Amino acid sequence: AGSRASIQTALRTLLAVPWLSQCDVSSTLQLLAVLQWVLSFLLLGTVSLLLLIYLLFTSLWLIPVLYLAWIILDWDTPEKGGRRLPCLRRWTVWKHFRDYFPVKLVKTHDLSPSHNYIIGSHPHGILCVGAFCNFITGSTGFEELFPGIRSFLTTLAGNFRLPVFREYLMSGGLFPVTRRAIGYLLSQKGTGNAVAIVIGGAAESLSCRPGVTTLILKNRKGFVRMALRHGAFLVPSFSFGENDLFRQVVFEEGSWMRSIQRRFQKMMGFAPCLFYGRGLTSCRSRGFLPYARPITTVVGEPVAVPKVENPSRELVDRYHELYIHALLKLFNENKTKYGLSESDELHIL
């Protein structure tokens, strides 16, 4: 009888324990999805490099030696179509990643599979969350919204020199932001390819902060020249909310810290930003995870571009102006729908 009473008491105690609700489980999965993504992009390359160097001085030295040989043989693959794994786009983890913010993709015009495209992705933000979620993962329905179009995303070429990280990037459909890699995608893969380029790059990340809509674009014309050489249509896109994900210590132009950031950017290709987001255990604490703020990426109207093998400077300038006009139109028509006021303007430097 005593044993039975003890069991009944234990069961009542167990049933009285508050279990995680479905909402709590979803929130936890979303947080973990974002955590693995941030850690992968910030640490995977460096940690893999240090681990391989360490293994060189152990009995497992053959592993890094063989991998180094593999990288040498495979060196040009990132610029020759990569090794994209379509199944990676369908991972359930990306749906949790999408829902954390949440991220939404909005289509304004059709894209014909009979053309290739260069999609300008704005703004850069800190970690390009909108560009990654929409153009690399299938969680926001890019392929359903634009049937027959395959999306790719370019990133710093230096990332593909880091062991293991290069395999991770290629498997997702990322490519170096080089003429050779972009040219391959636009000339050797048929039609229906859309190469997304975060045009503002590292320089734009330095001015990233909530409420600021400043783009580095006025003197960025290489993407227009590439579009003309391959006859790829130019498509503007803008991720509303991208700059709200982190808080950054922004140093004034002319300050010594800003000067250091600029020099580092020119040498390494990326800028060291001092930023913070939310902590792992609480959204009220500070940490390295992005804040949960909605991101809406709106894809605009394509600008038809002729194929000109050696475009003149005047022709490049003309289509650059047409692209900026299309981008401004996209921004102004959608800004009040996605968190900005009528008085907000897009500043282009």
pLDDT at 271: 60
Q: Is 9 among the domain residues?
A: no
Q: What is the pTM of this model?
A: 0.88
- The tens digit of pLDDT for each residue in 253-305 reads 666 566 665 666 666 555 666 678 899 888 888 888 999 999 999 999 999 99
CA separation for the pair 319, 255 (Å, rounded) = 35
Write the CB contacts of 102 (distance below 8 Å, at least 6 apart in sequence). 294, 295
Q: Is 151 among the domain residues?
A: yes
Q: What percent of the chain has pLDDT over 70?
A: 84
Write the CB contacts of 219 (distance below 8 Å, at least 6 apart in sequence). none
Q: Is 50 among the domain residues?
A: yes
| Structural domains of the chain, count | 1
- The tens digit of pLDDT for each residue in 163-207 reads 999 999 999 889 999 999 999 999 988 999 999 999 998 778 767
pLDDT at 326: 98
Q: Is 226 helix (H, G, I), strand (E, B) or coil?
A: helix
Residue found by looking up tokens 């390494």 in the block = 268
Q: Is 5 among the domain residues?
A: no
Q: Is 222 among the domain residues?
A: yes
pLDDT at 229: 97
For range 74-99, the mean pLDDT: 92
Q: Is 4 among the domain residues?
A: no
Q: Is 110 among the domain residues?
A: yes
Q: How far is CA 82 from CA 85, 157, 160, 188, 319, in A?
A: 10, 13, 11, 12, 29
- The tens digit of pLDDT for each residue in 11-45 reads 566 455 555 566 778 899 999 999 999 999 889 99
- The tens digit of pLDDT for each residue in 93-121 reads 999 999 999 999 999 999 999 999 999 99
Residue 207, CB-side half-sphere exposure with 13 Å CA sphere: 16
pLDDT at 197: 97
66-80, 102-116, 143-157, 203-217 — which is least confidently predicted? 203-217
Q: Which domain holds residue 279?
A: 17-348
Q: Is 326 among the domain residues?
A: yes
